[in-house]
Amino acid sequence: MSKIVILTGAGISAESGVATFRDPDGVWAKFNLEDVATPQGFARDPAKVQDFYNMRRRQMGAVEPNAAHAALAVLEQALPGKVLVVTQNIDDLHERAGSRSLIHMHGELGRALCLGCGESSAWVDDITVQSQCPACGAGGRLRPDVVWFGEMPYRMEEIGDALTGCDLFAAIGTSGNVYPAAGFVEEARAAGALTVELNLKCAGWASRFDEQIEGPATEVVPAFVERILSGKG
């Protein structure tokens, strides 16, 4: 196995206690996506949006990486330079598990973006209208450094290069509802990669994969990593 790209979604963090988005008790069942995850919603009511992400940022202190996050870090350490994790998640559980070859295509809860100078800075506390940009000092110009609907995800060129150069593409705990991430399977397949979906319930886009592995991430991901490392690919 030469190059591996792994796409992760909210399902990989579900067993750590981080809610997914589209499951019955998910985030979008409780919050209006238009209000809290669009630039228009932020323009309409910035305090509502800040409250939403401040709540989720605070939650990060109460959750831990799980066996699925840990297994991906082990895979990366066992195959240095051959594994890239592309996550749609804005939590920091992959890093805390030890992943380093990692792209947050939808941004990070732990960063703030200044609308004044454009700088992205590490940020741990609540963002308020008083908050000052660590780079330029401007007050009241910070937003969560999260990619909202209608905005371009980060590092798409790097991701595209990795997809066309991989021979194994796996999607873990994502429903495949949101593009461009939902189109990665076709890019990898077109490059001749084996494509595998790992999900609690393989549905919707599952048929677009060569293989489906069903079960909770904390069970199926460590087994999948073991399979790769044992050379059974």
Closest CB 84 distance from ligand APR, rounded Å:
17
Among 201, 210, 211, 233, binds ligand APR (CB under 6 A): 201
Asked if 200 interacts with ligand APR (CB under 6 A), we say yes
Dist CA 110 CA 102 (whole Å)? 15
Asked if 106 interacts with ligand APR (CB under 6 A), we say yes
Give Cα 105 distance to the centre of its chain. Answer: 7
CA distances from 12 to 6, 19, 29, 174 (A): 12, 10, 19, 8
Among 144, 153, 173, 222, binds ligand APR (CB under 6 A): 173
Which of 44, 87, 97 lies closest to 66 in space, CA to CA?
A: 97
CB of 140 or CB of 205, closer to ligand APR: 205
Which of 21, 1, 25 lies closest to 11 in space, CA to CA?
A: 21
Closest CB 81 distance from ligand APR, rounded Å:
26
Where does the chain have alpha helices with state H? 11-14, 27-30, 33-36, 39-44, 46-59, 67-78, 93-97, 156-164, 184-190, 217-229
Asked if 174 interacts with ligand APR (CB under 6 A), we say yes
Among 20, 101, 131, 195, binds ligand APR (CB under 6 A): 20
Asked if 63 interacts with ligand APR (CB under 6 A), we say no
69 among known catalytic residues: no
| Segment lying near ligand APR (by CB under 6 A), choices 70-78, 154-162, 172-180, 187-195 | 172-180
**Does residue 209 sit in helix, strand or coil?**
coil
Dist CA 121 CA 137 (whole Å)? 12
Asked if 9 interacts with ligand APR (CB under 6 A), we say yes
Tell me how many residues contact ligand APR (CB under 6 A).
22
Among 10, 71, 196, 225, binds ligand APR (CB under 6 A): 10
Asked if 15 interacts with ligand APR (CB under 6 A), we say yes
Dist CA 13 CA 10 (whole Å)? 6
Give the list of residues 6+ apart from residue 24 with CB closer than 8 angstroms, or none. Answer: none
Binding residues vs ligand APR (CB under 6 A): 9-11, 14-15, 20-23, 26, 88, 106, 173-175, 177-178, 199-201, 216-217
